[in-house]
Structure 1
Amino acid sequence: MKTYGTEPGAPTPVQVGISELAVSDGDETLRSYGLGSCLAIALYDPDSEIGGLAHAMLPDGDAAENSDRKPGKYADTAIRALLRRMVEKGASYTSVEAKIAGGSDMFEFDSFGDGVGQRNVVAARDELEKLGVPLVAEDVGGDRGRTVEFTPGSGALLVKISESDGTTGVTEL
Structure 2
Amino acid sequence: MKTYGTEPGIPSPVRVGISEFAVTEGDDTLKSYGLGSCLAIALYDPETEIGGLAHAMLPDGDADENSDRKPGKYADTAIRTLLRRMVENGASYTSVEAKIAGGSDMFEFDSFGDGVGQRNVAAAKDELEKLGVPLVAEDVGGETGRTVEFTPRSGTLVVKSAGESEENETREL
2:53 matches 1:53: yes
Which residue identity is paired with 1:62?
D
Match of 1:3 in 2: none
User: In structure 2, what is the Cα distance between the partners aligned to 1:74 and 1:103?
Assistant: 13
Query: Residues 9-48 of structure 1: matches in 2 within 5 Å?
Result: 9=8, 10-48=10-48
Cα deviation, 1:27-56, whole Å, max 9, x if unaligned, reads 000000000000000000000000000000
Match of 1:172 in 2: 172
Match of 1:8 in 2: 7
Cα deviation, 1:76-135, whole Å, max 9, x if unaligned, reads 000000000000000000000000000000000000000000000000000000000000
Match of 1:128 in 2: 128
Cα deviation, 1:111-162, whole Å, max 9, x if unaligned, reads 0000000000000000000000000000000000000000011100000001
Query: Residues 105-144 of structure 1: matches in 2 within 5 Å?
Result: 105-144=105-144
2:82 matches 1:82: yes
Which residue identity is paired with 2:90?
G
Q: Which runs of 5 or more residues in structure 2 are unaligned?
A: none
Structural RMSD (CA): 1.8
SS where residue 65 of structure 1 aligns? coil
Q: Give the 4+ runs in structure 1 shifted more than 4 A.
A: 164-168
Taking structure 2 as the reference length, the TM-score comes to 0.94
Tell me if structure 2 keeps the 8 A contact 1:162–1:168. Answer: no
SS where residue 87 of structure 1 aligns? helix
SS where residue 69 of structure 2 aligns? coil
Which residue identity is paired with 2:163?
E
Count of aligned pairs between the two proteins: 170
User: In structure 2, what is the Cα distance between the partners aligned to 1:44 and 1:52?
Assistant: 6
